[in-house]
Structure 1
């Protein structure tokens, strides 16, 4: 799939939820991710292309993404519109415990443009599975974001490092990594 998706390409928004604004996650990269996601979402809606939202409903006791917490809500700029499909999950992959794969196959969607939070967890896991299941995916680098992490040796890795390493690992193996501008043709 080139960087200009065809009309049956679905935009897959992963976990663009209020709970990721909670300071407990740490330091974040790419503060413009939601703005880029919103730009792509507007284009998909304008062209009447398929839009699929994924919502993480955590089972962790202290997670801001628990269904009984306000953080489970979608961010305002990307809230689903009537007729847009929503899948809820409690693990990293949007394909596990949901009907996402069967929905895509029944709608004859073979191509995905993937955006969302976080690059190294749910975005990466879903992208890997999409590739393994035979879907062609574009992962939009500047429409994803992540947080700093501490490794098992105690070393802190910046959000920029984490994001870049995961995008590099996914590119040309499970997907093609592109930018918002490449998709918009600017």
Structure 2
């Protein structure tokens, strides 16, 4: 086993937010399951990561009951399920230790959000010496409101604002930032065949 699939934050918390209506990839759980099946068939390790914000009172607070994998995603008993409190999957977990102890040097990254936890994990992994493959179509993100926009707007208002960074722009920016520097960029079909 020299490779691991790292599934980041594909959790029910995101489906509880109003912005889920504007998600770039509403079928992400299906894409992730394709990658998981492929990784298992290859004999690769699958590592599941959840994001948690204890005491926040949000959908990311474990007390909400939403800090769990999306329905349809099921880890096998020997697959680590880690809970992080940082934007990347390394800083507040033992992910690096798990990978190092198993001699894993190649990572395949997928999950939510494309430009946040997935990109940040990818950048840190590359800095730690891992070879990373970023599976863009097995990630998901949401429109990003302008920094000066009011906080209490509806999803429709966010989408209508010309200053909002739309999902296609976010995904393209992430690919540009990562490609050739931090990761190889691919799609699910190209990877799994």
Q: What is the TM-score normalised by the length of structure 1?
A: 0.90
Unaligned 5+ runs, structure 1: 1-6
Output the CA distance in 2 between the equivalents of 1:76 and 1:21. Answer: 11
Q: Tell me which moved more, 122-131 or 57-66.
A: 57-66
Q: What residue number does 2:160 align with?
A: none
Inter-CA distance 25–62: structure 2 relative to 1 (3 Å threshold): farther
- For the pair 1:165 / 2:173, whether they are aligned, the reply is yes
Please list the CA deviations of residues 103-159 of structure 1 after superposition, one character each: whole Å capped at 9, or x if unmatched: 111110000000000101110110010011110000001000000011225421112
Please list the CA deviations of residues 134-186 of structure 1 after superposition, one character each: whole Å capped at 9, or x if unmatched: 1000000100000001122542111221122112211111101100011012x
- For the pair 1:98 / 2:93, whether they are aligned, the reply is yes
Which of 84, 89, 96 pairs up with 1:89? 84
Aligned residues: 179
Please list the CA deviations of residues 33-59 of structure 1 after superposition, one character each: whole Å capped at 9, or x if unmatched: 221111010122233321111111124
- For the pair 1:64 / 2:59, whether they are aligned, the reply is yes
Unaligned 5+ runs, structure 2: 150-162
Q: Tell me which moved more, 72-81 or 8-17.
A: 72-81
- For the pair 1:20 / 2:28, whether they are aligned, the reply is no
Which of 125, 132, 148 pairs up with 1:130? 125
Q: Tell me which moved more, 153-162 or 172-181.
A: 153-162
Partners of 1:148 and 1:159 within 8 A in 2:
yes
Larger-Rg structure: 2
Please list the CA deviations of residues 58-96 of structure 1 after superposition, one character each: whole Å capped at 9, or x if unmatched: 246242121111210111222212110111111101110
Partners of 1:120 and 1:166 within 8 A in 2:
yes
Output the CA distance in 1 between the equivalents of 2:97 and 2:72. Answer: 28
- For the pair 1:177 / 2:185, whether they are aligned, the reply is yes
3-state DSSP class of the match of 1:31?
Answer: coil
Q: What residue number does 2:156 align with?
A: none
Partners of 1:41 and 1:78 within 8 A in 2:
no
Q: Tell me which moved more, 152-161 or 14-23.
A: 152-161
